[in-house]
Amino acid sequence: MAAIELDEVTKRFEEGGRLSRLVDSVRNAERSDDVTAVRNLSLTVEEGEVFGFLGPNGAGKSTTINMLLDFVRPTEGAIRVLGFDARDESVDVRARTGVLPEGFDVYDRLTGRQHVEFAASSKRLDEDEADVDAVLERVGIADAADRKAGGYSKGMRQRLALAMALVGDPDLLVLDEPSSGLDPAGAKEMRDIVTEEAERGTTVFFSSHVLEQVDAVCDRVGIMREGELVAVDTIDSLREKSDADSTLRVEVAGDVSALDVEAVTALDGVRSVTVDAAADSLTVSCVGDAKMAVIDELESQGLDVTDFETREASLEDLFLSYTGHDAPETDEAGDGQEAHA
Amino acid sequence: MTWQAVARKEFDDSIRSRWLHGSTLFFVLFLGGAAALAFGFLLPDQFKDASNLFGFFVDLGIFSLSFPGLFALILGFVALSTSYGSITEERETGTIKLALSLPNSRMDLVAGKFLGRGAVVVAALLVGFLAAFVALLATGTSIGFESFVPMIALTVLLALAFVSVGLGISAVADSNREATLATMGLYLIFGILWKPIAEGIPKLLNYAAEEAGVGALENFTRVKIGLFLKYLNPLRTYETLVAQVYYGPARARLVSATTGEQLAVANQFAPAQGGVPIYLSGGAMLLVFLAWIVVPTLVGYYVFRERDL
């Protein structure tokens, strides 16, 4: 049985208040300001897997997670979590799932311990099963457990919500941006907890807009962009793809603006060429094997190559290229001309 | 079902709120203070009976004042204020995501809120009545439990009715601001506008009947329609039922009534004339009261169940 199955899921949010919706429906007008947050998303996460759900802010990650938990309902499509229908059997889903939601807040007047006790009694655990103290200890807020949560820092609130998620040993952990608000040490602890849980056989589904956090712990990642899933792959396979890409920076003697950019761009394996006239240099993004061909072409155009360096594209660059952002290097070419293959 | 967990959380949370401490203190001062003032200082010894305060009604037709009527207005305000933000505030801060990440259904959430917040208001209220009870004992006033206890029970029902109304608004509203405005509007309707509207409708019906050529409605019929509509207001239901507890059904129907209504019903509702009609009876009003407790929360739940957070 798959832990999470999404089948052709679409979510459209209706914008505007009730009145404007009513007026539009009476006038039979098209709703132009509706927002499609998730479009035709199909995805399967297997049991025991650690799945990283990546994408920039606003890509539809949180909406997808909110649909898994029945916070919002899909406009179209079917969702099953742990074998249960995400909508009709949501309580069964959440009984076996620990959740760290995004954009949550704590109950200011309740203590940390009362929060975890609320989680335990909602999950119908008795005192032995819950072991509230152990959970508080595990997330590192045992010292502050009897203080009101209203006085907690952002990072402590995040830890408290994680404690509420972990109590009762869930089969599935759904973590929405778990490291937000945590300092580097806290983020590391969070990763360790994820790894521990995964070792116990818990399925972990977590979202992030920072690739580094996913890199170390995930078996597979899915990348979202503007509501659509643009890639699903293992980290290793993604890395292979990214290794094939490299960036070549060439400094030339002579007038670089005389360069026939089109001819360079037309070479096999070249993806883009950026010319920086002020620095007499150009930056070429290409597959590794095309480097020599680029140098040869420059020399045949009568430009002497004085220096060159190559840089392997990082996983980060690949992620950015999937999510529709250029790698930072090309962004810096302020006054250069740019041509894309 | 995990509504107990939610109710417990609500109660633990509210019991620490300054609002609750304030309203408890207020009930103590108001109920206890009124009893101490009335029986300790103002009233002579022969009037030392709890009914002279908790059953205090002045019905002159053009001018009506009653202790239960006044207290109902205040209690309604406190109960509404305790509940109208219960869901919208959780949505705006994001705490609802914690509550619904756990295996609580939306029914658990709404039911737990109703019981938790209801318990808080009722607790504050009972502390107030306890203070009044102590004041009654201290001043050597006769209490008359056969009416004092039902009066408290009715007050508890009134508190629950307004908690339910506020919770219903909170479940339906899009934002806290919307909930605040709706609550204020509704309070205005219950407190002020209900009466003229209930008096206007029989006149309108009468006019329509005349125009249709059916002939004018009998005055007594018009008054009964008007009274029935007025008794749908929980504030008025409460006031009338409390009066009935102290003075019996026929007398209670004169409470807060206009001179015209008093003249029309004064003799007709006497037991010798067949008494109060069934749809204006205490039983019918108790049903209206229960409906105010159940329906707003239930409607709120059905709307809330279908919504995205």
In tens, the pLDDT along A146-204 reads: 999 999 999 899 999 999 999 999 999 999 988 887 888 888 888 888 889 999 999 99
- Which among B9, B17, B101 is the nearest to A94, CB-wise? B101
CB-based contact B103 A18, cutoff 8 Å: no
- Give the CA angle between residues B244, B247, B251 to the nearest 5°: 80
pLDDT: which is higher, A282 or B21: B21
Closest by Cβ to B105, choosing from A91, A114, A115: A91
CB contact under 8 A, B5 and A118: yes
* CB atoms A69 and B101 under 8 Å: yes
Q: Is the pLDDT of residue A326 over 50?
A: no
Domains of chain A (ranges plus CATH)?
A: 2-239 (3.40.50.300), 244-340 (3.30.70.100)
Nearest CA in chain B to A99: B101
Q: Which of A92, A107, A124 sits opposite B95 (nearest CB)?
A: A107
Cα of B130 to nearest chain A Cα, Å = 27
Say if residue A339's pLDDT is above 60.
Answer: no
A279 band by pLDDT with thresholds 50, 70 and 90 = confident
CA distance B9 to chain A (A): 6
What does the pLDDT read at residue A336?
A: 36
User: Which of A69, A91, A109 is nearest residue B16 as measured by Cβ atoms?
Assistant: A109
Q: How far is B186 from chain A (nearest CA, A)?
A: 19
Contacts A105 to B, Cβ<8 Å: 93-95, 98
Adjacency order of strands within the sheet including A281-287: A304-312, A245-253, A281-287, A270-276, A337-340
B16, B98, B103 ranked by CB distance to A104: nearest: B98
How far apart CA A176 and CA B31 sit, in angstroms, is 50
User: What dihedral do alpha carbons A275, A281, A286, A291 form, nearest 10°?
Assistant: 140
For A314, which DSSP code? P
Higher per-residue pLDDT: B214 or A86: A86
Per-residue confidence band for A138, with pLDDT thresholds at 50, 70 and 90: very high
- Whether residue A72 and residue B9 make contact (CB cut-off 8 A), yes or no, is no
**Beta-carbon separation of B98 and A121 below 8 A:** no
What is the ipTM metric for this complex?
Answer: 0.87
Considering only CB atoms, which chain B residues are within 8 Å of A121?
Answer: 2, 4-5, 8
A290 min Cα distance to partner chain B (Å): 51
| CA B181, chain centre distance (Å) | 20
- How many angstroms separate the CA atoms of A72 and A38, rounded? 12
What pLDDT, on a 0 to 100 scale, did the predictor assign at position A30?
Answer: 65
User: CB of B189 within 8 A of CB of B73?
Assistant: no
Q: Work out how many CB contacts closer than 8 A connect A with B.
A: 85
Nearest chain B residue to A175 by CA: give it.
B101
- At A335 the pLDDT is 37
pLDDT above 80 for A269? no
The pLDDT of residue A313 is: 63
Cβ separation of B102 and A115 shorter than 8 Å?
no
Q: What is the rounded CA–CA span in Å between residue A124 and residue A103?
A: 26
Contacts of A55 (CB under 8 A, 6+ apart): A61, A207, A209, A223, A224, A225, A323
Q: Judge whether residue A334 has pLDDT over 60.
A: no
CB contact under 8 A, B97 and A114: no
How would you write the pLDDT of chain B (309 residues) with one tens digit per residue? 788 999 999 988 888 888 889 999 999 999 999 999 999 888 888 888 888 888 888 877 677 788 999 999 999 999 999 999 999 999 999 999 999 999 999 999 999 999 999 999 999 999 999 999 999 999 988 888 899 999 999 999 999 999 999 999 999 998 999 999 999 999 999 999 998 999 899 889 988 888 888 777 788 888 889 999 999 999 999 999 999 999 888 888 888 888 888 888 877 777 777 778 888 888 999 999 999 999 999 999 999 999 988
Question: Residue A340's pLDDT is what?
Answer: 41
User: Within a 10 A sphere around the Cβ of A49, how many other Cβ atoms?
Assistant: 18
Q: Which of A17, A90, A106 sits opposite B98 (nearest CB)?
A: A106
B-chain CB neighbours of A114 within 8 Å are 9, 12
pLDDT of residue B49: 87
Separation CA B242–CA A62 (nearest Å): 53
- Helices within B173-233 (DSSP H only): 176-188, 194-212, 219-230
Q: Tell me the chain A residues in contact with residue B94 when contact means C-beta distances shorter than 8 Å.
A: 101, 103-105
Name residues 90-119 of chain B within 8 A of A (Cβ): 93-95, 97-105
Closest-CA residue in chain A for B112? A122
Beta sheet of A228-234, edge-to-edge order: A97-100, A172-176, A203-208, A50-54, A220-225, A228-234
Judged on CB neighbours under 10 Å (0-12, 13-18, 19+), B177 is exposed
Strands A172-176 and A203-208: parallel
Report pLDDT for A322.
72
Residue B285 is which amino acid? M
Mutate to test the interface with A, among B11, B92, B98 (most CBs of A within 10 A): B98
A74 touches chain B (CB under 8 A): no
The separation between the first and the last C-alpha atoms of chain B, rounded to the nearest angstrom, is 21
Query: Which residue reads 């999470």 in tokens?
Result: A4
